[in-house]
Amino acid sequence: MGVLTNTDALRSGIADRSVHVVDARTADEYRAGHIPTALNLSVSSIVAEQNAGTAARLAGSLGISNNGPLVVIYDGYFGTAAALVAWRLEHAGYQNVSLLECSYANWLEQGLEYDYDVPDIMHVGYSVKTNPSMVATIRDVELANSSTILVDSRRRLDFLAMHIPGAVSIPYRALSSPSSVLRGKDELLHLFANRGIGVESNVITYDNDSGTLSALAYYALKHVGVDGVRLYLASFADWRRQKMPVETQQNATYGDLAA
């Protein structure tokens, strides 16, 4: 299964009821209009609890089971919220998860259909089969040797101010284009190659704390075939809390260049 589902595939899936559509935005945003048949599983409800089972429990309560039809997830703008919901579901054992290639904003721009109906929900049971190979712990990050590349998904200014030693900077906005949550494979491969990342590489992604930005990076890497990618979910906030060493771009006031 591919990382991305395109709009045509989603629309025919909706028509023949062969997909679950998941809206990762807030309940308010969802109520104000969403893709037809979409269920609302907001990223904030998932982030609220770090427990691996949370995503599965919430999905189960919406009638989405871990061995059911393809789950296609979208959010408002950048794909970061959708990516984290997807990642948490996959991590809890959902096999069949993908990201809608465009955001809801793009969807509306293209004049595609939307509605306000909340579909009838058939509660299903859930089971959790966590997938540990998707996660990196603080130990993994600490012990990462030179063959593992750390990707910092935060904005460039945050990276300059402070980052995990040895990390490379790929601001999450570099992963998407104005019309798609992930840029074309060639462009992404370039971006990664510029940081020494190839399909054989081992990569750990991180961001500030929630894992949204780094989940998008996780899927961007998967998308171009970098299978050895893991997500450091607790991210930089955890690294700081544990008083781990950091690297800073010194003697320059780059922050004052921001508008």
Partner 1 sequence: MSNSLAVYSLPSVGNQRSKNLTGGLQWDQYRITQQSRSHQDIFIGYKGYFRVMCPHPLQQSTFRWADVRDVDDFADKVKRYRAGTYPPDAFVKYRIHNGGYVTRLTSDYSMLRVKVPAGRISPEQLRRFSLLSEQYSIGSAHITARENVQLHWVVLEDVPDILRSLAEVDLTSRESCGDTVHNVVCSPTAGVCPDEVFDPTPYAEATSRFFLRNTMTQNIPRKFKITYDCCENHGRARTADVGLVPQIRTVNGQARRGFKFFAGGGLGAKSCIARQIEDFTDEDNVIYTLIAVLKVYDRLGDRKSRHKNRLRYLVEQMGWEKFRNLILKERTAVRITQAARVNLDLEDMPAAVRRPVRISAEEVVEPGYSKWVQTSTFVQKQPEYRTVFVTLEAGDISSRQLSDLADIIEEYSGESTARLGLIQNVVLRYVHQDDLVSLYSRLLKANLARTGALTMAATLGCVGMSSCNLALTNSHRMAKEIQRQFLKRGLDEDKDLWGSSIKVSGCPNSCGQHVVATVGLYGGSGRNGRDMYPAYTMLIGGRTGADSTLGHKLANVPAKRVIPVILHLLDIFRERKQDGDNLESWIRRVCDGAEQTSVADLQDMVTPLISPPSRDDDPDFYTDYGTDIPYKIVIGRGCTK
Q: Which residues bind partner 1 (CB under 8 A)?
A: 155-157, 160, 169, 171, 173-174, 177-178, 187, 190-191, 194-195, 249-259
Q: Distance between CA atoms of 181 and 163, rounded to whole angstroms?
A: 25
Among all chains, which residue has been given the structure tokens 């399909």? Answer: 199
CA-CA distance, 103 to 86, in Å (whole number)? 14
**DSSP-assigned beta bridge partners for residue 100:** 5
CB atoms within 10 A of CB 58: 22
Q: Whose Cβ is closer to partner 1: residue 105's or residue 174's?
A: 174
Q: Give whichever of 31 and 185 is closer to partner 1, judged by the CB atom.
A: 185
Q: Which of 180, 173, 135 is nearest to 153 (CA)?
A: 173
State the minimum distance, in angstroms, from the CB of residue 206 to partner 1: 18
Is the CB of 128 or the CB of 191 nearer to partner 1? 191
Identity of the residue, 48 or 252, whose beta carbon is nearer to partner 1 in the bound complex: 252
> Using CB atoms within 10 A of its CB, is residue 16 exposed (0-12), middle (13-18) or buried (19+)?
exposed
Q: C-beta of 253: minimal distance to partner 1 in Å? A: 4
Helix 212-223 vs helix 185-193: angle between axes, to the nearest 10 degrees? 110
Nearer to partner 1, 27 or 193 (CB): 193
Name the minimum Å distance from CB 191 to partner 1.
Answer: 7
Q: 223 in helix, strand or coil?
A: helix
Q: How far is the CB of 54 from partner 1 (least distance, A)?
A: 31
* Least distance CB 27 / partner 1 (angstroms): 26
